[in-house]
Structure 1
Amino acid sequence: MTHSLHVNAPAGLPYIDTERDFDAPVPAVFDAHRDPEKLKRWMGPDDLSVEIPELDFTTHGGWRMVHRDADGNEYAFHGTFHTVRENDLAVQTFEFDGAPDQVSLEFLTFTDLGDGRTRLSAHAVYPSLEARDAMVASGMETGMTEGYRKLDDLLAGAVAR
């Protein structure tokens, strides 16, 4: 079953909340965020490839990923994990290289819904309403929807990349 992504970007407030359910247990969803080989298989929109030169999914660890389109254009992102609690929470910074100094702080929460299901909730706070609006306008929702569909496939064991 494919679940819908819910996005809430309230007018006048510099944050975005997202929520998505998965038909897989919390440890599997958490591991798909921690393992760079798994993350490469699902992260981002369908029309971009992804490289993950750095992923230390631990408290005080760092990360970097680079998306590429068919023409070779790169879209690079990086951040730091401030807190990672096994199968529960990840707090990280998120910065697009193309918009330096527009750092968001993101809280990812992994909730056990029972029956082998997980709810992934995110709360991302931006330094300004303009930065938040730029993220919304960037196609973030489409990229997340496509990525989470690939994550569903990965969790079901169906991805063969």
Structure 2
Amino acid sequence: MLNFDDIDRSLLSELQRDASQSLDSLSDVVGLSRNACWRRIRLMEDAGIITARVTLVDPAKIGLPLMVFMQIRTGSHDPDWQSRFATAVKTIPGILSVYRMTGDLDYLVRARVADMAGYDRLYQQLIARLPVADISASFVMEDIKDSTALPL
């Protein structure tokens, strides 16, 4: 989108806050007609700015209260290992995010599990699929800020 403006930013802010809002509500907030609001949202979807509309779920209420960050170092950096790693982490339930990193750390994995036994099951699934040089884990004691909204 070449003409991304303040109205688009306002629309995105509102949608990031609550994507279930009606077009009427959104159009009132941003000062556009319902149809103009809908067209801008469609343009942002078509441009790939809006990539999905999702429902956020309280992890504790569905039995996944423990968040873990796994720091992974690999002994291999070849394309075959990277491909197998990507396939493995995409198919293991509980793994939410995976990032390839710079520096000493090769990968950072964010996961949700029920408890330490759940973490051990996730860990065992991962190491059964491919070799890693080192995995260390840090467990979240308190969520101070956890947001999906990007600053606009």
Do Structure 1 and Structure 2 share a fold, with TM-score over 0.5? no
TM-score by length of 1: 0.28
Instruction: Choose between structure 1 and 2: higher strand proportion.
Output: 1
Higher helix share: 2
Instruction: Output the TM-score relative to the length of structure 2.
Output: 0.29
